[in-house]
Amino acid sequence: METRKTSWSIDPAHSEVQFKVKHLVISTVTGQFTSFSGGLETDGDGFEHAKAVFEAEVNSVNTNNADRDNHLKSADFFDAENHPKLTFVSTGFRKTGDDTFEVTGDITIRGNTKSIVLEAEYGGTAEDPYGNTKAGFEVSGKLNRKDFGLEWNGLTEAGGVVVGDEVKLILNLQYTRN
């Protein structure tokens, strides 16, 4: 007997896509993408072996500083004009605990694709007041921005770097069963 496929779509009104990167080594700048979409395809109602896709509009980057956001959109970083989207396509979705998963996939930023491993914590499934079935995940991981061609950096007078190489990813995603 074949298992039915279930599709889920990200609910952007109840989801956040954030990143954190060190600035001057001493503090952290948090940013987010405000325009994104994605989904899951599962076997039945379980999430093990799900297929996940995600994309974010680079021009939606927001760090609460217009000058920094414009710099991030420029050719020094994301090069939004030539690479308007960043994407993720899963290649594995493995259960590692009662409510945890390891999600492996290919992330493409600025035309460069690399494999990445993310941790996903399943928050549960619930029905909203309108009868829609929702599922929540908190996804985290890290990547090296230079692996994706985001090479720009500056040096301080003392020789320290302005922007750290490691970028932490934090995604709180609520999905709606279609």
Tally the domains of the chain.
Answer: 1
CA–CA dist 40, 94 (Å, integer) = 14
Whole-prediction pTM value? 0.90
Residue 175 has pLDDT above 60, yes or no: yes
| Residue 161: per-residue pLDDT | 45
| Residue 156: per-residue pLDDT | 45
Q: Which domain holds residue 148?
A: 5-177
CA–CA dist 150, 134 (Å, integer) = 35
CATH label of the domain that carries residue 19? 2.40.128.110
% of residues, the chain, pLDDT over 70: 88
More confident residue, 163 or 135: 135
Residue 1 has pLDDT above 90, yes or no: no
CA–CA dist 160, 44 (Å, integer) = 51
| Residue 2: per-residue pLDDT | 62
| Residue 151: per-residue pLDDT | 66
Overall average pLDDT of the 70-81 stretch:
90
| Residue 148: per-residue pLDDT | 81
Residue 158 has pLDDT above 70, yes or no: no
| Residue 155: per-residue pLDDT | 47
Residue 157 has pLDDT above 80, yes or no: no
Q: What angle do CA 104, 110, 113 make, to 5 degrees?
A: 30
Torsion over CA: 70, 72, 76, 77 (sign): negative
More confident residue, 34 or 146: 34
Where residue 130 falls among pLDDT bands split at 50, 70, 90? Answer: very high
Q: Read off the pLDDT of residues 89-101 as tens digits, 9 standing for 90 and up.
A: 999 999 999 999 9
Q: What are the CB-based long-range contacts (under 8 Å, 24+) for 42-46?
A: 42/5, 42/6, 42/7, 42/8, 43/3, 43/4, 43/5, 43/6, 44/3, 44/4, 44/6, 45/6, 45/125
Residue 167 has pLDDT above 70, yes or no: yes
Average per-residue pLDDT in the chain? 89
